[in-house]
């Protein structure tokens, strides 16, 4: 009788661990999905259309003073979440690549092949 209780408790532990792993994976998927939505662009822009880029620049120039003021206010505070919530992407790069060795952490660079120098990173 004691042996059957031990088997029951071992199988219960295994099932509980598998259920925990499943729940953690599901929560991770939802977190990644929310992050993807957060970092998606609000609007799609044809980067090869000069007029679209001019309109976008004009739109953000109207709001530049407001953004600068808001950013300087949150930069003085200790709430890092608010600060990084206010930081806007500075530029769009369609050819962003990661360069560098594994041991130095690597860096993201916009179109590194445009630099026409040897051994330049």
pLDDT tens digits, 53-98: 788 888 888 888 888 888 888 888 888 888 877 776 666 677 788 8
Residues linked to residue 109 through DSSP beta bridges, in sequence order: 97
Average pLDDT over residues 101-107: 76
Beta strands in the chain (DSSP E): 96-99, 107-110
Domain contains 116: yes
Q: Is residue 70 part of a domain?
A: no
Number of compact structural domains in the chain: 1
**Does pTM surpass 0.75?**
no
* 21 pLDDT higher than 70: yes
Q: Do the domain assignments include residue 51?
A: no
Does residue 24 carry a pLDDT above 90? Answer: yes
Q: Is residue 26 part of a domain?
A: no
- Structural domain containing residue 110: 91-121
Q: Is residue 56 part of a domain?
A: no
117 in a domain, yes or no?
Answer: yes
Written as six digits, the tokens of 61 are 């120039």
SS3 35: helix
């Amino acid at each position: 009788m004691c042996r059957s209780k031990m088997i029951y408790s071992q199988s219960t532990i295994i099932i509980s661990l598998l259920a925990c792993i499943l729940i953690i994976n599901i929560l991770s998927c939802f977190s990644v999905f929310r992050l993807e939505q957060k970092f998606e662009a609000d609007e799609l822009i044809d980067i090869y259309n000069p007029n679209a880029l001019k309109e976008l620049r004009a739109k953000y120039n109207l709001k530049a003073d407001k953004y600068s003021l808001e950013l300087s206010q949150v930069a003085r505070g200790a709430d890092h979440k608010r600060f990084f919530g206010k930081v806007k992407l500075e530029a769009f790069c369609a050819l962003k690549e990661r360069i560098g060795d594994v041991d130095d952490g690597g860096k993201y660079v916009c179109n590194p092949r445009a630099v026409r120098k040897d051994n330049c990173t």
